[in-house]
Structure 1
Amino acid sequence: MSLQTLQAKPTAALNRPCRIRRITRGQCIYFEGDRGQPWQLVSGIVRLDRSEQGENQFASLALAGDLLGIETLLDANYAFQATALTECAIEPWRMPLADAGKRAVLRTLISAEQRAADLIAIRTGQPLERVRRLMLLLAGGSNAGLLPTKLALPKLCDMADITGLASETVCRSISELRRQGVLTRKGQRSALVSMVDLSELECPTEQ
């Protein structure tokens, strides 16, 4: 999808004044097949699903800074269902005209492409390693720095879908991260993560 193609098909929604929209945890932002406009995720984590044989199947994740529903610039219908895994903020997005803005869009699309590869890796390997990779991804990976990072946690069932594990297995892996001092729970919806320990943690391999 080229920037020239995107720019060639503006929608009326792109000309509306920008405004922040707050989304509660678990709220659906838009449904697959609905008509709509593109959004930028200001904060939070969003799950993208696609309908397969009448059931929603996990497709991808969107993190702060990502674009949501950009496919509506070519086809007014959303290709995925977007659901907030944590409290989120979104705002209407319009195609930038300046070259600097276009480069920013390219960086966003490249980042989303890299995340797609990371999500494939998250669904392979031992359970603890999958959960460790997920925590790194949600915390911003190497861009998060070395200081402990407060991380908003998705629901256990969502983490299970993302990693391809059973909810009980994810729960045990999180307990193991806590036991090793890598993660400290802060209530039901957040945790404090030691990025150094999480990055350096060596998970057992399958025998």
Structure 2
Amino acid sequence: MTRYLNARECLAASDMAQMWRVQSGALRIDSAPSGEAGRFMRLALPGDVIGVEQWVGSDDALNVRALTEVRLTPVQAEGAEMMALLMETVVIAHQRCREVVSLRTGPVSQRVKTLLLMFAEHVSPQAQTATQCELPNLADMADILDAALETISRVISTMRRLDWLQERKPQQARFDALALRAQALLPGMSASATALRLSALQG
């Protein structure tokens, strides 16, 4: 049975016993050890399969939450089909890990640009022209990009002043992905959330 999640809705723990393929939307997958704050691990985008960890016997505690409206369909596989599915999942997991590195290193303006283009390509492909693109809210963007929320807000405000973004709503933006890809970086915006936390501790 198809499962629908609203933005910011978590996938129930009971549903994690089932493998699901993401048909539309985007999810964040967090490590959630008992008694500890959850930590962002990776994204799940259309075409990805989630829930494989339970099938292979992993005891990792995970929290899966929708960043946009999400549609999931159950995955049933066994034998050779399951082996092919596991190989596919390993390849995609490697790709998602590489994406996390690009989303969490370098100038914050580049991280924001990378996230916008990623969502334009995978979540709202119609944004290749100047139309609405579904996006995470600012708090989720700060976690995903390991950047201070205020810094992300400044980057987005600057992009709007430069007309790189034509419109910004809480979980949407209107922009031309092809035009944005061609733009240079915004200088002087590189503060990360981790750096700010370390600075506060040292102070």
Fold conserved between structures, TM > 0.5: yes
Residue 115 of structure 1 aligns to which amino acid in structure 2?
R
TM-score, normalised by the number of residues in structure 1:
0.76
Alpha-carbon distance, 1:70 to partner: 1.1
Q: Which residue of 1 aligns with 2:67?
A: 85
CA distance in 2, matches of 1:107, 1:148: 33
**TM-superposition CA deviations, 1:117-173 (whole Å, max 9, x none):** 1211211111111111111122227x9584335311111010000111111111111
- Which runs of structure 1 show a deviation greater than 3 angstroms over 4 or more consecutive aligned residues? 76-79, 96-99, 101-109, 143-146, 204-207
Match of 2:155 among 159, 170, 173: 173
Alpha-carbon distance, 1:187 to partner: 3.5
Q: Which residue of 1 aligns with 2:195?
A: none
SS of alignment partner, residue 130 of structure 1: helix
CA distance in 1, matches of 2:110, 2:15: 37
Aligned length: 186
Match of 1:62 among 20, 39, 44: 44
Structure 2 unaligned regions, length at least 5: 191-203
Kept in 2: contact 1:28–1:83 (CA 8 A)? yes
**TM-superposition CA deviations, 1:34-88 (whole Å, max 9, x none):** 8611111111110100025611011111111111111122127664210011111
Aligned CA RMSD, in angstroms, stands at 3.0
Identity of aligned residues (%): 30
CA distance in 2, matches of 1:34, 1:190: 28
Residue 84 of structure 1 aligns to which amino acid in structure 2?
A
Residue 37 of structure 1 aligns to which amino acid in structure 2?
Q
Per the alignment, do residues 105 and 199 of structure 1 end up closer, same or farther by CA in structure 2, a change over 3 Å counting? Answer: farther
Q: Which residue of 2 aligns with 1:95?
A: 77
Per the alignment, do residues 112 and 136 of structure 1 end up closer, same or farther by CA in structure 2, a change over 3 Å counting? Answer: farther
Q: Which residue of 2 aligns with 1:10?
A: none
SS of alignment partner, residue 25 of structure 1: coil
**TM-superposition CA deviations, 1:12-39 (whole Å, max 9, x none):** xxxxxxx2111111111034x9861111
SS of alignment partner, residue 139 of structure 1: helix
Per the alignment, do residues 47 and 185 of structure 1 end up closer, same or farther by CA in structure 2, a change over 3 Å counting? Answer: same
Match of 1:121 among 102, 116, 119: 102
Alpha-carbon distance, 1:109 to partner: 4.1
**TM-superposition CA deviations, 1:82-108 (whole Å, max 9, x none):** 001111111111227777x97676455
Q: How does 1:24-173 map to 2 (within 5 A)?
A: 24-31=6-13, 36-51=17-32, 54-75=36-57, 79-95=61-77, 106-107=87-88, 109-140=90-121, 144=125, 146-173=128-155
SS of alignment partner, residue 29 of structure 1: coil
